[in-house]
Amino acid sequence: MTAAVRSNSASARVPVAAFAVVLGGVSAALHLGKLPPAVPALQASLGIDLVEAGFLLSLVQVASMTLGLLAGLAADSIGLRRSMLVGLAVLTAASLLGGAVGAGLLGGSHAVLWLFVLRAAEGIGFLMAVMPGPGLIRALTPAGADKAALGLWGAYMPLGVALALLIGPALIAWGGWGDWWWTLSLVSAGAALWVWLSVPRDRPRAAGASPQPASSGWASRLRETVGARAPWLIALTFAVYSSQWMAVIGFLPAIYADAKVPAAWSAVLTALAAAMNIVGNLMGGRWLQRGVAPERLLQWGFLTMALGGVAAFAQVGQGAQALGLPPALRYAAICAFSLGGGMVPATLFLLGVRLAPGPSTVSTTVGLMQQASSLGQFLAPPAVAWLAHRVGGWHWTWAATLACSLAGMAVAVRLGRIRQVAEPTP
């Protein structure tokens, strides 16, 4: 790297408006993570059973799995800033009404039905809030800072969910789950206000950009996105990453319960392992900013996940006679698995921005990524659980993570070839 490049990288800073966008994503992710710590309180106050609780948990994921591409298309159509504001407004209103249900001010005998409807609305609001994030960050940050900013954006999901899991139980114990809903409504409203004040309007920014052809309507953008190879490869890579990460981190409490780890320690260990993913996102952004090729960073991330998964789960034999790494090293391998995986979304958001068919299809491409990611998260945990049930334990989980990681490394090679054609080295 030349001295000029180092100087440009050092002088290029992430603007305040980009931090507002990241906060908008984090506040949206808080709503994804707010329900798990509230399930016991919901069962006690509304009498919902585990099946209903599971459906409430999965509604947002189903929305992302079925509507991700359409939400991204809508974000590109109505404007990126406007889309994020609409999404945050929907989250604010839905959470405000949910708090009213919790306080007994709304719903009455139909309180559970109200929760289902509002949770579905939150799923749509979440999509509208996060789809425009990468495109907004690209528009707001100078060239020397976009990679670090996208690394920050890549951490919005684990950061928001982790904060909800850590803060939620205390607030629910203090004021009930309705107050928890109202608190997050205020957080979303505050994030929307910051975006409204700091992010320039869509129209003035578009006026300064190169003119777009008249045919660039939603149908044209949809055809461009689904007809290009890069968005599908990026989406596939996101799916094989998120599926294995969710399967491992999601089942850690069950794995620790099987190993007779105390519940309090299980919660702390799981939260720490999930937080390592945030560190990986930030590291990925920094390395991208320093000039590491995206495809190489993807391969490093998937290789770390592959090795971490094998080290954490592989063993010879079962029961007391099983041979494997000591528990402390297995946990270190889980943390390495999560940290290495964090480099993947940071890189994929950059590639989604750079390799989208055109500037007007960035959010549509991110929507396709989100849809594939949600599909992977929806299918992988049951598949891993089925495998564990068939073999009588979690010791073959490494086979699933290894297969996903090898697929990710193979697709990374193809993405590297596409990137080198799209961005030839001067």
pLDDT for position 170 = 82
Q: pLDDT tens for residues 23-50?
A: 999 999 899 878 777 877 877 787 777 5
- Please tell me if the domain spanning 15-200 has the same topology as the one spanning 224-426: yes
Mean pLDDT to the nearest integer, 335-343:
93
Mean pLDDT to the nearest integer, 8-21:
70
Strand partners, 381: none
pTM given for the model: 0.76
Check residues 205 and 275 and name the one with the higher pLDDT.
Answer: 275
Domain ranges (residues) in the chain = 15-200, 224-426
Task: List the one residue out of 326, 314, 292, 29 whose CA is nearest residue 154.
Answer: 29
Residues 120/99, Cβ–Cβ less than 8 Å: no
Domain 15-200, CATH 3.90.1150.10 — does that match? Answer: no
DSSP assignment of 37-103: GGHHHHHHHH---HHHHHHHHHHHHHHHHHHHHHHHHHHHHH-HHHHHHHHHHHHHHHHHHHHHHHT
Residues 297/287, Cβ–Cβ less than 8 Å: yes
Q: DSSP class of residue 318?
A: S
User: Quick one: what percent of the chain has pLDDT higher than 90?
Assistant: 27
Query: With 80 as the cut, is the pLDDT of residue 370 above it?
Result: yes
Q: Residue 12's pLDDT band (boundaries 50, 70, 90)?
A: low
Check residues 35 and 122 and name the one with the higher pLDDT.
Answer: 122
Task: List the one residue out of 173, 177, 118, 342 whose CA is nearest residue 249.
Answer: 342
How much is the mean pLDDT over the chain? Answer: 81
CATH number for the domain running over 224-426? 1.20.1250.20
Task: List the one residue out of 170, 315, 304 whose CA is nearest residue 255.
Answer: 315
Query: With 80 as the cut, is the pLDDT of residue 71 above it?
Result: no
Mean pLDDT to the nearest integer, 193-218:
64
Close Cβ partners of 300 (under 8 Å, ≥ 6 residues apart): 340, 343
Other C-beta atoms closer than 10 Å to the C-beta of 413 total 11
Query: With 90 as the cut, is the pLDDT of residue 289 above it?
Result: no
Check residues 396 and 261 and name the one with the higher pLDDT.
Answer: 396
